[in-house]
Amino acid sequence: MTQTAHPPRRDDRGLTARVSLGRRFTPPSTDFVLIASTAVMLTVFGWVMVLSATSARPDPWEGALKQGLFALVGIPLMLLISRLPVAFLGRIAWPALIGATCLQLLIFVPALRVTSYGNTNWVNIAGFQLQPSEFIKLALTLWIAYVLLRKRARLTVWHHVFIPVVPVSALVIGTVIGGDDLGTAMVMVLIVLGCLFFSGVKLRLFILPLIGGVVAVLFYALSSDNRLKRILSALNPDECDKTGLCYQAVHGIWGMANGGVFGVGLGNSQEKYGWLPAAENDYIFAIVGEELGLIGCLLVLALFAVFAFGVFRIVRRSPDLFVRVAAGGIGVWILGQALFNIGVVLRILPVMGVPLPFMSQGGTALISVLAACGVLLAFARTLPPVERSESKGAVLSERSESK
């Protein structure tokens, strides 16, 4: 006797539709909101400061308009990437790293490379200037996370941890060093070390790459007379020539000092009138300090602190090794680069040409950072929900047992 399939009742269809609709309109997690909101606020804040820093130029709107266009592209791109499956992000890791490295190799083509402030890390393709090393940061992070995920059962053996992560990373970073960009290379070394740290490898296996990275950076930094002078000027700021090698660093700290607690007012900076080179780029934080004072600087630091809180909540809550390693690497990249930039402005570190994430003028840097935030948002969507009822029940049971 055969049974005929009956169509679902209207009540069942209505229930299914309501469940599907409810999932679509489920409020985003706390981590999603923290990362997305701070990324947008820092980007908008940075655009305002770029507009102010370039207002003393003959074409004051050109730089701000370009930065605004890149922001209008980067923010929707961030939200688009946030909808990508995590598995897809792992599958594109190899092609992304190969493509970004091939693009970086164009800096060795004389007809395409562009040199600025002693660094040859830009290329000009069909009238568009971009910095390929910014794309390598994200691609390298995803690639290391994917490789360590595939080797997760063998991360206690040193050669499985090092190969192919360390040699491939060294080759990729070498293409950046070929353009004399020590600052970007140092950020990439941080990314590699951060990914290894958050993968949970044994401490003794992590220390060896740490020592190797520090030795390599020191050797490269001391191999150039110009870089050596910049390091010594940071160690002895009072003895440095304020009209020569330390001109930019001195005017940056003068701008910060001129701002005081409350600043001289938005748009009223004096250093941007030809005194401070790269005011809208690497020294945008000095313009923030001069115009908005200590209050503005603390606001920027607070936004980065909230961003860090959201990132490391993802690292702590995710059960997926790929998510933990990639999120940790992106967090170390963005926060480490921000600390480098602010340390340079405060004359704690030597000048190294590292932009302030989200805020410094530069289309490639802004889009790459917003794309990395999109990856973080995609990770945040996969986190297990926090069951309030279960946590409340656990607290009540603990109280009853204590009684």
pLDDT digit string (tens) for 349-368?
Answer: 888 878 999 999 988 999 99
Average pLDDT over residues 323-336: 96
Number of domains composing the chain: 1
* Residues 212-246 pLDDT 10s: 777 877 777 777 666 676 776 666 666 676 666 67
The answer to the question of residue 398 being in a domain is no
pLDDT for 5 beyond 80: no
The answer to the question of residue 28 being in a domain is no
The answer to the question of residue 396 being in a domain is no
Q: Which helix (H) or strand (E) holds 242?
A: none
* Residues 377-388 pLDDT 10s: 999 999 887 654
Burial, 102: exposed, middle or buried (Cβ in 10 Å; 0-12, 13-18, 19+)?
A: exposed
Q: Of 147, 156, 141, 140, give the one whose Cα is nearest residue 200.
A: 156
Residue 158 main-chain phi, psi, to 5 deg: -60, -40
Q: Going by C-beta distance under 8 Å and a sequence separation of 6 or more, which residues neighbour residue 374?
A: 77, 78, 79, 80, 81, 82, 84
The answer to the question of residue 403 being in a domain is no
The answer to the question of residue 375 being in a domain is yes
Domain residues for 170?
A: 36-381
Burial letters 57-95, b for 16+ CB under 10 A, else e: eeeeeebbeebbebbeebbeebeebbeeebeebbeebee
The answer to the question of residue 271 being in a domain is yes
Q: Of 109, 94, 229, 226, give the one whose Cα is nearest residue 178.
A: 109
The answer to the question of residue 27 being in a domain is no
Residue 263 DSSP class: -
The answer to the question of residue 45 being in a domain is yes
Question: Between 301 and 29, whose confidence is greater?
Answer: 301
